[in-house]
Structures are given as structure tokens and as C-alpha cells.
Amino acid sequence: MKRRQSFSKHCLLALLSALILLANATVIKAQDGESLSSNIPDKTGTVSNAKSTSLQEFMQEFKKAYDNVYYSYQSSTLKSVKVWYNELDAKKQTNPDAALDAVLTPAGLRFEKVKEVYVIKAKELATPDEKVETPMTPGNTAVADFQVRGRISDANGPVAGATVTEKGTGNVTRTNADGEFTIRVNNANAVLVISHVSYDTKEIAVSGKPDLEITLESSGKELEQVVVTSLGMKKEKRSLGYSISSVNAKDMETGGTSNVLKSLEGKVTGVQMNSLTSSPTSSVMFNIRGATSLKGIMNDKRNVNNETQPLIVLNGVQLSSNQVGSTAGIDVGNFISTLNPNDIESISVLKGASASALYGSQAGNGVILITTKSGAGAKKGIGVSVSSAVSFDQAYSAPPVQRSFFQGDEDGSALTSDKKGLGWSIDDKVNNTPVWRWNILTQEWEESVLEARGDKDPLLAFLRTGIMADNNVAVTGNYDKGNYRLNLGNMVHNAVVPGNKTSRTNVSFDGKYNITNNLSVSSQASYSRTFVPNQSHVYGKREDNPLAHAMSMPINMPKMSEWKKADTWLTDWNGTYQNTPYLSNPGEDRLSRVNSSGFDNAVGKNGPYFAAENIIRTYSKDVIFGKVQLDWKLGKPFLFTVRSGINQQSFAFERKTPWGSERATKGGYEQRYTSSLDVRNDVLLAYNKTFLNNDLSLDALGGFSYNYSEANSSGFGGNELTTPNSFTYNSLPASVKQAAEFNRGYSSRNYGAYATASIGWRNMVYLELSGRNDWVGILPHEKDSHFYPGASLSWIASETFDMGNVFNFLKLRGGYAETGYGIGNPVNLDSYGISGNTWNGVAMGTIGGDLVDTKILPELNITKEAGLDFRAIDNRLAGEFTIYSKNHINQIQNLPVVNSSGFANVLTNMGSVKSTGIEAALTVTPVRTKNWQVSLTGNITTFKSVIKELDPRFSEKFYSYDGSAMLSLFKGSQVGDLYAESPIGYIQTGKYKGMMLTGPDGIIEEAVQTTDYIRKNGYLGNMNPKAIYGFSMDAKYKNFRLNIVASLRVGGVFISETQKIMIDDGMADIMAIYGDKYNEYWTGGRFAGGLSSMPNPDDMFNDAGFENYKEKMQELMTMYNGDPRYFGYWNAVYIDPNIDLSTLTPEEKLRLSDESYIKNGVDPTKTLYMNPYNMEGQELWSGAQFRTHDATSFKIKEINLTYSLDKSLAQKLRCQDISITAFSKNVMFWAKNKMKEDPETAFYDGIRGMGVSQFGLPPIRTMGVRLNVSF
């Protein structure tokens, strides 16, 4: 099972040695291709010595002369065009645009620069019927004697940077920022060719007109993309041998999201995202290519997906993983949730381990690369941009709650102290007699019959309209010597839960200064403060969950408007006695029962507003990030970089539970504090050079990193405050004080050396090799070393073969890499102590640290992938396809050992999990006209994580999980497989085969819990979807842009604990939830009108051997006044009690003869009748299979409509750009499950128990408007 690393550490040394050899080789001039000397004019017309070569070879020289240059060709045929040029010298000619223009223009070529890419294009040629004018050459200089001025615009305003060429000549100019140009042409009948990379080329006859107004139409051409990859390196996406997905700033800002990861939903492949709640500020778990951790299965009901979160890298500085944290059951977020989306330039997801290998032990689960905005792309000089958005949240779907039965106890009797809805039918005029109720408005007891006066949907009535305001102001400066950007952002969100609020303030700075042409320094700094004055616990049946109290609100309870209007506290008992209708001892004088301590345990349940607004959970999070980087160009081929980054986080939490609370009559208080510090340092040397007449290119990098981390925590908490509203440490009992925790975390250091080299051949084949070696530990006995190699290969077939107009671009790619996790724990620290326990009167000692297997191997992820990318039919069709496998081997876990060793466990390898799947995306542009452009995109992601190997020292077994379910640890099972803890016993043979087995205590009591039976009959499904589909549409019409994003999750299951608790409370609408299954399971029951009649209890089970059955029925059948309208029974069989079962196994009871079973309901006097609670709550409480639902769901995640003002109009308003966007998030939600719960937010408690819903927020729709103005 254990696997040795397949690559030697000498590979890394070889790569580093190659860099040194190449450095020496730079003193030897590479052999140039044949060149010809001639007299040609330069930009000014001066004749000088120059050489000619192909455009392809020149562009390679151009890229060497000017750093960070990216280019592409409109057509591959342009590569062979001959051009003339003088020796390039970036020091003398500092403007690369001018240098390139001087070479292209005489050759009848031009370029358009979009972002960082030079797109080389041919000037328009004459048609066969036209006379071809002689181009301007050194010996043919035409006289320009007619001046033309003009203005070029599109539907949005002026077009800057458009090329204006006199047809058939080298006479060329460009438009300025206002779209204006001036050119002198040969004569008044000249023809101008107007071109721009983003527009269709247009020819305009001058016809003697000195002033022209020209309008261009969008071409929809797709450019070669430059993406950020490992270590912050920028590369052309066309050269990569692995899959990478990116989302830019425009797509993130438009939708008005407050969490940057939410902007990726439905837009990228290979990932699965789960929000902890449906709130716009919720944290997001982000899994790349499937969850593969065995640790998540074994470790105390942890979230299996949260164990495999990717590494976060900000501006080249690696931070921590995306693991989401929770405190006291609430979502407290992570680093991602503190970022301001307005600061983000782009997010790239490194799915292929080939790219992640350079991060070594930190990147076992993939990498999220985040690049923030700078002033580099801003307008020259000072610029100011303002963004302001306001949005409104509204919950619009909730689980079905029954409104047909009043509040009542399990036997149907009147009830005041609990919210159970097991009482009389609202139409029952016979049994509904006057009862005592507490009036929360008058604060008096009232005696009357029950009335249906509550809300139809109490949860939606309780939740308010949430409001979010998000404002940003950015100041930029862009100059020849550098640039900067300063941004201030503030977000305030009043949540849909009353009393809940979040605010976040962000300040960020990005600056760069060019000290010389070869030396520059840059820095980034940001501060984020998140403050939450109150966030309610929204999971479970716990007393502090306002959603549970609102959802399970009996129909006779007050409307939410009355709850809201009523005083929180009883008169004269502020802070001590809660004003709630759930009171014990109905009819008695409330205040006369107050004892000397000030309370009497009279509160049965909290009111929803009390739980939301008075049980307070407050936290604050402060995050400081800083980075300084120095770049030094050591001659043409080398770039030396030094950078240091720091990330400091502090978190403070406080919980206040007042007196008079449910199950905490004297309240409680809790405090938690954590802090962490990460310092990341890198030294890098990059090398870029071409050889063999520019056919061979080498882009290499080597570096060394040093990282330091530490974390500290402290906290205390408990109940029983000495006095009301005294939320201090001193108000807690001594036992709570003594249990206070103060932990100084163990600091860690690791070192890494890495290298990568990308070798290109004729811009069509690229081989990339990478390797990293990590050293972990501080003390000598902690030291450990691991090597992580990677390789990828890409072939651009469209560069090798002429594919005509069918394929504009076609690339095949593949990759292999090993990333990992290291050992994970330090070895034995050899620390000793006294435990305080004795053995035979002798004090027992302790040994610190962990026992580590001497043969332990580092935990690794071995990833293989292959795929293709293409663009076809004039870029109207574009797509990508990837097939991959990710083998998570040598997984490390604790194995129990005998106590005599002095240790409880030994750290060792336990097994492997292999994830396989596909990723595919296709974009179609069916409409591309003057005013319209429409693009449609669809994508699909699949993954399947299977346990491939399991060390025999670890037993194959089930591990207890939430929701009355279990996780499987068996070879061949999938990560996330769920099994019922108590699977129903189904008859295996005979005429009753397939029927459920019941008994006097119900179905669950007859469940079969043997491992074999559970594996065969208890499988519920997998918590992860089988496939995730994404759909998007982008439509542009003149100044309008419409964007729609949707997603479809197919397959997978989730278990509804919400359903379980509501059924136990008698508040679930059983008929709506089960539909056709209702009649399959039961006959009668209160939701089906009950039974027409029942026998006298004394006539039940009078045969010998049925005494236990008779006793049970005499107890049950007298409840609800014996009214048959409230009774029913299971459609099942039970075993004749006269049969001896003492020697039979549970499974053998399912294979008896037909005569051994009695079918329930055939003989009324031998029928196991059940009252509502036994029939619904008791049985469905433990039966996970009755609460497991298909997780298939569909969402329209975003609809954004943007209008941009004409630039001319904006400039009249003294602005550069003005746009307004109307946006909506989670517009529509459809789920296959009848509980109307969102499977994406199915969590048991905080981050615990993914795939098990337990209340939580319902689907929430957000609608808002955003205004962007730049000056």
C-alpha cells in the first residue's frame, strides 16, 4: 500500500544546475539566422543599416528586449512575413509600442494592444478588381497633400487606440483618448482603413471630405489570455499543459456579492462549492476535484469536505487553507470572507497538480490564486472611482409546516410549556374544550377554546427583509515611474434574522515605484475588520435557534406581528423573566411563584424573537496583510525577485445568554480569543531566453522560501450567572473558572527550494518541469524532508497544421504531479510528566508527543490529467475538456496501541482514495451583429472518490455520523457514502417479501443493525452530487449588457434533521412531505382522516402469548379520548409472539415461514394501532431512510443587467465612465426534495455534518442596484 516517491531529489538539483549553466551560456552569442543588410528607413524616414527576418523571429527578439511582453497573431500566416529592424535596445527606446510600430508599419502590418497582449494584424488588402497602390518604400516616397480629421466611436462613445491607415500605403496614425485623429493623405480620393482588435475593420472613402464621423461595430474576437499561475507568474494560457479557471473583476463586482468565492459559482469547472448558509455573507467551502480525506470519515463527525480545502495565495504570498471555522455553532468565516470583492482583479483556480507542485506540502488540495487591483491599468495621472450598491434580501421558501392541528401533548392533552403540535384538529368541535393560555400582549392568563390564529407560514413571517449597503472609493495614480491604488470599502448587512447584523471595513493599498529601468519595488498592504454585534445560532433544536422556534409554531400561537409587538420581559422582571406563552402551571399567578433566587424554571420554550435578539453571539475579526517585493533585472535573461509577506489575524468571540432562557434559567457567558501569525518569504531568480534561431525558448525560475507560523488561543464559558445581566468572568461558578483554557500554540517553520522550467519549440510544443523540496520542523528531531515533482506537456496543433477557418485554435495537453501534506505531526517530543493517576498505589507518568511509525511515508496527492482546448468557426465556438485522476495516497491517521507503550496511538499510513472525473465547457456565440452579441456557455463537472487501499491494521467499519446515519470506511466505498444507523427490516422470502417488519414498539425497534445487513440494505446515497452543470448567458445590445448564471446539481442525497425535529414536534406536514409514500407506509393516521373505527381495547389481542401486545394497545387506544380519527397503523407484518426467537439472529427473523408472520390491519383485533406521536415522531425520529432526500436542485444564481452611459455623455458630466447595474442573486430555486431545503447548505451544526440539514436559513433572494462612477 505504501508508495515510495518516484522522483529523486536530485531532479531539483538538476533543474537548479541547469539554471546556472544557462547563466554562463549567456556570454556566448547564439548563432543568428541568415540576415540581409539593406538600406531602409526608420520611424523618422532616416536610412540606416538594418537586418531582415521573419515576423515570428523578430517578435521573439522583441519579447527578449522588453520584459513582460505577450503577443498573438490574427493569422498564423503572418509569422513568415519579412520585416526589417535595427538592433533593439530597450534602454534607448523605452517605449515598446513605438519600437514595434516602426517595424510593422513598413511591412504593411499593424498591432492592437488589449490589456497586456499585442495582437499582430495585417492591413487590409485590395480586392482583385481594385488597383493596388504602390506601398511607401525607401525609393518611393509619396507626397501627402490632403488633411483629414475625424472622430471614431462605437455604441458606447469614443474609441481610443484605433488604427487609421491610408489604404495601400504605410501612412498610419491612431485615435487619441477622445477617438479623434488627424492624417495627411495622398489625395482627396484616398481610402482610409479603420481597424481595432475589438471591432470589425472598416474602409471609408475620403471623397474630398476633410471631416469624418466613423462608427465601428464590435467584432467579438477572442484574444489569447494571460493568466496568473504558480508563484504569481504570468503566462499565456495557450502554453499551459494543465487546466486553470479564472474569473475577472468585472464579473465579481457586477453581481454585488460580499464573498469573492461566491462569484465563481456556475462559472468554473472542477469544483464543488457549499455555503454554510444561504446568507449573502456566508462562508463557502470549496473542493477541487472531489473530497479525498479519510480523516474526515474517522474524526468525530467532522465535515469530510472541510478537510480538503485548497491553499489560498494572495498576490503570490501563500497564506492558509480555505478551511471554514465555526465557534459555538455559528459561521465565523475564514480569510476569504474578510476580503473586499472590489479589491480583487482576478481569481484563478489551479486544479492541476502540475501547477500546484511548486507549493509543495501546502497544495495537496489545489490552489486558489487571488490577485488584487493595482494602479497599473488605470488612466494616466490621478483617477477616482466610486462604487455604491444597495441590496435587499428576502427568504422565499420554507419546509411545509402543518396548520391543521392545535398545540397538544403526545397523548393529545392540552399543553402550554412546549410547542408540540399534536393536539386536536382545528375542525374538531367535540374535543376542543377551553384551556388556559398566556397572553403575551396583556401578560395575563386567559381560558378559552383554541383558535387557528397563527401565520400560514410562521418562518417566512418571522424573517424580515435584509438590507446590505456596500460602498467603495478608490484613488489611483499612474505615472512613468510607477503607480498606486488606495481603496476604502465598507459593507453593512442587516440580516433576515431579526437582530442579526454584520459590518466589514476594508482599507487597501497597492503601489509600485520604478527606481531605475532595471530596479523596481512594489508593496501591498490591507486591513480588514469584521464586526458582528449579533449572529444567531440557526442550526438544530437547541433552545437558542430562533428558526426552530419560528418554524415549529403551532397554529394557535400568536402571529409574528404580535410576538414582535409584545414586551420581551415580564413587567417588573426585566432581565429575569422572559415573556413567552410557553409557560408551565397554566392559570396560576405568575409572580406569586417567584422564589428568593428570582426564578422558578417556569419557561418551557424560548420565543423566536427572544432567541434572536437576546441570546447574543458577538465576534470581531481583524486581519492585516502586507507584502513587499523587489524586482531587479540582471541583464536581459535574468530577473531577481525578493518578497516577504505577512498575515496576522485575531478573533474575539463572546456569548451572552440572559436569565429566564430555556434550559438556562440563570443564563450563561462565554469568551474565546485566537490569534495567528504567518510570515512568508521568497527569493526567486527567473531566466528567459531563446535559442536556435528563436525556435527554442526557455522560461525558467528557481527559488527558496522560508515560512514561519504560530497561533495562540484562550477561552472560558459556562452557565449559572450569579446575578442577572452580569456577563463577566467573575459571575461564573468556580468550576467554570477552573476550566478556562490558555494555549500558546506550537510555532512551526518550514523551508522550501523549488524550480520550474518551461521549454517551448516554435511556439507549438511546451514542456514544463517543476519540483519542490520542503524541510519541516524546528528542533533536530523534528526535521523532515519531502520532494514534490511535476510535469506537463502541451501541443498547439493549430500551429503545426493549417486548419483553415474551421479551427482557430486547437491544443492538446497533459500533466503529472505529486503534491502533498508531509507527515503532518511532529515526532515524539520526549517530554514527561505526572498524570495524577495511580496504579497499585504508584503515581503514573505521561510521555508527551506522538508515537510515529518508523516506516511512515509522506502523504501525497498524485494527479494525472489530459485534455484539449479549442476555438473554432471564427471564435464562435470555444471549449475545453479535461479527464483526470487524483490519487490521495499514504494517508496518515492514528492507530490505537496498547497502553503499556506509554502512548494511546501511533501515527502511521492507513490507505488511499482515488478521485476521477471529467470537466468540460462549451461556449457558443450565435449572434454577433452591429448592435447585438450573445454568448451561451455550458459546463459540466463530475467526480467520484473511491477508497482504493486500506491498511489491514485499520478495521473496515462504519463510523457514527449525524442524522442517525453512518459513514463507511470500506475498501471500494466512496468518500461521502451514507448508511442508515437503523435500517428497516424487510422480509426476505415468501409472500410477504419486501414488507416492513414491525412489533409492539414499532418499526425501528425491529431494525437490523448488523454490518452485513447495513451494507446490503442500509445504503442511503452519497452526500456529494454525481454531476454539477453550469449555464450562463451573456448578451450585449448597444449600451446594455445582460448576464444570467444558473447551475444544476444532479444526484447525491441529504438527510433532513429538520424533518425529524418537526415531526417529533408534530409540526411537519406529513402528507405534503411523503406524498404517494404516505399510503405505502401507513393506513389511516391523522393526516388521512384517521380510521373509520377501532375495536374496544378490551377486545384486543386476547389470544395466549399476546399479553404484551394487549397491554400496549390498552395504553395507546385510550389516548385522544379513543377517537379513531387520530389513529392509524403501519402497513407491515409482525412475528407471532408464540414463536421462539431466542436462537435466531436479527437477519434470520426476516426469513421465517409465511405462517410465522401476521399482517398488520387484516384482523382489527390483532392490529398494532398507533397514536400520532408513535406513528410519526417515534418511528421517523431514528429512521434515517425516512428522511433521506434526493439532493438534485436547480438555481438561477444571478441575473445582472448593466447600462453604461455613452462616453460622450459621461464626459459632459465630467466623468470618465458611468454605469448602473440591477442585479439579483438566487433568483429561483427548485429542489427535488419535498422539504424544500437547499442541499447546498445542508449542515448539521456550523461546519459539522455536511449532508445533514438541521434547520438553517431557507433560500434567500437578493435584489439590488449598483452604481459605478469613475473620474
pLDDT in tens, 46-100: 334 567 788 878 887 787 777 667 777 766 667 778 887 877 776 666 678 778 8
Helix, strand, or coil (residue 1186)? helix
pLDDT tens-digit map of 507-519? 999 999 999 989 9
Q: Helices (H) and strands (E) in the chain — how many of each?
A: 20, 66
pLDDT at site 100? 86
Identify the domain boundary among 1141, 1175, 1190: 1190
Identify the domain boundary among 1190, 1206, 1232: 1190
Indicate whether 38 pLDDT > 70. no
pLDDT at site 900? 67
Indicate whether 1228 pLDDT > 90. yes
Q: Tell me which residue range forms the domain holding 1186.
A: 983-1023+1056-1190
Model confidence at 6, pLDDT cuts 50, 70, 90, reads very low
Amino acid at 675: S
Most confident residue range from 375-384, 944-953, 1240-1249:
944-953
In degrees to the nearest 10, what's the CA dihedral of 1170, 1172, 1173, 1176?
A: 90
Residue 169: inside a domain: yes
Residue 450: inside a domain: no
Q: What mean pLDDT is predicted for residues 939-954?
A: 93
Q: With contact defined as beta carbons under 8 Å apart, do 660 and 544 qualify?
A: no
pLDDT at site 142? 39
Looking at 797-852, which runs of residues are DSSP E strands?
807-822, 832-839, 842-847, 851-852
Indicate whether 655 pLDDT > 70. yes
Lowest-pLDDT choice from 353-367, 633-647, 1042-1056:
353-367
Q: What mean pLDDT is predicted for residues 1118-1145?
A: 95
Which carries the bigger pLDDT value, residue 96 or residue 888?
888
Q: With contact defined as beta carbons under 8 Å apart, do 1150 and 984 qualify?
A: no
pLDDT at site 157? 67
Q: With contact defined as beta carbons under 8 Å apart, do 340 and 528 qualify?
A: yes
Residue 1119: inside a domain: yes
Indicate whether 138 pLDDT > 60. no
Its pTM stands at 0.83
Distance between CA atoms of residues 164 and 191, nearest Å: 10
pLDDT at site 177? 66
Q: What mean pLDDT is predicted for residues 699-719?
A: 91
Identify the domain boundary among 1190, 1213, 1245: 1190
Model confidence at 841, pLDDT cuts 50, 70, 90, reads low
Model confidence at 806, pLDDT cuts 50, 70, 90, reads confident
**CATH code of the domain containing 200:** 2.60.40.4130
pLDDT tens-digit map of 1149-1196? 999 999 999 999 999 999 999 999 988 877 777 789 999 999 999 999
Q: With contact defined as beta carbons under 8 Å apart, do 279 and 1260 qualify?
A: yes
pLDDT at site 857? 86
pLDDT tens-digit map of 977-1013? 999 999 999 999 999 999 999 999 889 889 999 999 9
Residue 63: inside a domain: no
Which carries the bigger pLDDT value, residue 905 or residue 435?
435
Helix, strand, or coil (residue 822)? strand
Rg, the chain, Cα only = 36
Cell readout for 1254 is 438541521
Distance between CA atoms of residues 517 and 635, nearest Å: 11
Q: What mean pLDDT is predicted for residues 517-533?
A: 94
Model confidence at 592, pLDDT cuts 50, 70, 90, reads very low
pLDDT at site 300? 61
Model confidence at 1042, pLDDT cuts 50, 70, 90, reads very high
pLDDT at site 741? 84
Q: With contact defined as beta carbons under 8 Å apart, do 285 and 306 qualify?
A: yes
Lowest-pLDDT choice from 149-158, 470-479, 486-495, 939-948:
149-158
Lowest-pLDDT choice from 3-7, 376-380, 1080-1084, 1136-1140:
3-7
pLDDT at site 838? 65
Measuring CA to CA, how many Å separate 795 from each of 241, 759, 763, 866?
8, 12, 9, 12
Q: What mean pLDDT is predicted for residues 334-341?
A: 87
Model confidence at 1220, pLDDT cuts 50, 70, 90, reads very high
pLDDT tens-digit map of 252-286? 665 566 777 877 878 888 888 888 777 777 778 88
pLDDT at site 86? 76
Residue 1158: inside a domain: yes
pLDDT at site 9? 43
Residue 875: inside a domain: no
Report the number of distinct structural domains present in the chain. Answer: 2
pLDDT at site 97? 79
pLDDT at site 813? 93
Indicate whether 657 pLDDT > 70. yes
Helix, strand, or coil (residue 884)? strand
Residue 1172: inside a domain: yes
Q: What percent of the chain has pLDDT over 90?
A: 48
pLDDT at site 930? 76
Neighbours of 785 (CB within 10 A): 13
Q: What percent of the chain has pLDDT over 70?
A: 86
Q: With contact defined as beta carbons under 8 Å apart, do 1092 and 1000 qualify?
A: no
Q: Is the dihedral of CA 1073, 1079, 1082, 1087 positive or negative?
A: positive
Residue 862: inside a domain: no
Q: With contact defined as beta carbons under 8 Å apart, do 420 and 409 qualify?
A: yes
Lowest-pLDDT choice from 196-205, 296-305, 970-979:
296-305
pLDDT at site 898? 78
Measuring CA to CA, how many Å separate 1133 from each of 812, 994, 1066, 1136?
62, 10, 26, 10
**965-969 and 977-980 strand pairing:** antiparallel
Mean pLDDT for the chain overall:
84
Model confidence at 805, pLDDT cuts 50, 70, 90, reads confident
Cell readout for 1073 is 412531505
Cell readout for 56 is 515570428
Lowest-pLDDT choice from 136-140, 821-825, 915-919, 1209-1213:
136-140
Which carries the bigger pLDDT value, residue 446 or residue 201?
446
pLDDT at site 1031? 95
Element (H, E) at 354: helix 353-356
Indicate whether 218 pLDDT > 70. no
Q: What mean pLDDT is predicted for residues 422-435?
A: 92
Q: Is the dihedral of CA 151, 157, 159, 164 positive or negative?
A: negative
Question: How big is the CA angle at 315 (ends 310 and 318), to the nearest 5 degrees?
Answer: 40
Q: What mean pLDDT is predicted for residues 222-243?
A: 70
Element (H, E) at 327: strand 325-327
Q: What mean pLDDT is predicted for residues 949-957?
A: 90
